[in-house]
Each structure stands twice: as C-alpha cells, then as structure tokens.
Amino acid sequence: MLTLFTKDYGVIKAFAVGAKSVKSKRGSATSVLAYSNITLDKKGDTYKIIEATANRVFFGAGSDIITLTVSQYFCELCSFFGPHDESADEFLRLVLNSLYFMTEKNRNPSLIKAITELRICALSGYAPNLVACEGCGKYEDKTMYFKLDDGILYCEDCKKQNTVSVNRTVLDAMRHIVYSDAKNLYNFDIPEKDISALEKITEKYIIFQSEHKFSTLDFYHSVK
C-alpha cells in the first residue's frame, strides 16, 4: 500500500502488487521520492497501480542526512496539507521544485525548507498578511513584528505581545515567498544568519497553523 501525491487527485492510497520484488518493473517508479507516470484502476474506493514509469527519482536526497530528512518532511507536509480527491497541480509543482533545487542545485536545505513551509501555508489557505502593519499601515520599519497565531504584521509603534521580531531581509524574503509568481519563487538568496531566522519563523508558523506534531520535523532537529 502506497501513499501517492498526484496532480489530478491529490493524496490517495493505492496498492502496488509485487512492487517490492527485485524483478518488478515498477520498483523504481513506486519508491520513496520518485516522480512517476502511474496508471491506476479504481474499484469502489480502492486504487490499484496497473503501470508505473519513473520520470525522476531524487537519489540526491540520500547523499546527506539533512537533505534526506527535509525531503521526508516534505512528504509528511504533502500528506497533511495536500488536498484529497481533487486537483493538486500547484501544490505538487511546489514540492517537486523544492526537491529539485535542494538535491540537484545544492541550495541550502534550510532555505528550501523555509520556502516550502511558508508557500504551503499560502496554498492551503493560511497565508499571513505581510503587506503592512496591521495597526497603522506602515510598510517597513527597521524591525517589524510578526504574530504567529494569526499571521499579522506590526511595526515598532504598534507591536503586540507574543510576536517575533523580523528584520528587513527576513521580511522581504517572507513577502517574496508568499506573493511571488511560482516561476520566481526560488530566485533569491539571503545570508546564513537570516536563513536561520527565516526558518525558525516559518517552522513555528506552520506548527501554529496546523496544530500538528510532525515526526519528521522532530527527527530533523535531532540530527541537525
């Protein structure tokens, strides 16, 4: 039994008979982190894989424990946030691109993780309001303050309790992730210290919004 994240049907479960056999022609196409063309047969609520051909298997994820763990985390995010029995084209494209940039382009896993977390929130209906200060409408301050529980931004004069400070570099990155076109999503880079700050915010935000404990995220911190 496999969990598939599909373009047309979102998250589904499907049987792959004989896929574990060394002689199976579907073994590679049904392995973890494989992007494949799959023919399905549906009877009632049950899917069965008839044919499967791999387009790309992200072998590069296994070359580094952090990269592999983040890749597995993306799978868990798909399972939790992905739509079920409905189109997931944009969502699937995001995860595939994130895996590509992390494993093939060797981009910083922490940056790709942060991009994926915040963009998934935006696609899932949890987009934060990063346009301007909620209190006075100020677009930018030396330091802005982000409220994790409701995704609202405040300036120095209007800041509330239970907010986290955000410098201009991190705020620009967050705005880019939420509001940019998909084709430009990964077209930025920031210093290492700002990547760390960005990752902490996006991670806390996705946990606040989902109210879910991600096991792969716990493992990520244990190995990092």
Do 96 and 37 fall within a single domain? Answer: no
Domain around 164: 61-224
Domain boundary among 39, 57, 75: 57
Q: What is the CATH number of the domain that holds 21?
A: 2.40.50.140
- Per-residue pLDDT tens listing for the chain (224 residues): 899 999 999 999 999 887 666 556 667 888 889 999 999 999 888 899 999 999 998 877 777 899 999 999 999 999 999 998 889 999 999 999 999 999 988 899 999 999 999 999 999 999 999 999 999 999 999 999 999 999 999 999 999 989 999 999 999 999 999 999 999 999 999 999 999 999 999 999 999 999 999 999 999 999 98
Give the 3-state secondary structure of the chain: CEEEEECCCEEEEEECCCCCCCCCCCCCCCCCCEEEEEEEEEECCEEEEEEEEEEEECHHHHHCHHHHHHHHHHHHHHHHHCCECCCCHHHHHHHHHHHHHHHCCCCCHHHHHHHHHHHHHHHCCCCCECCCCCCCCCCCCCEEEEECCCCEEECCCCCCCCEEEEEHHHHHHHHHHHHCCHHHCCCCCCCHHHHHHHHHHHHHHHHHHHCCCCHHHHHHHHHC
Q: What is the CATH number of the domain that holds 109?
A: 1.20.1440.120
Do 67 and 42 fall within a single domain? Answer: no
Do 143 and 212 fall within a single domain? Answer: yes
Do 43 and 98 fall within a single domain? Answer: no
Do 83 and 97 fall within a single domain? Answer: yes
Number of folded domains that form the chain: 2
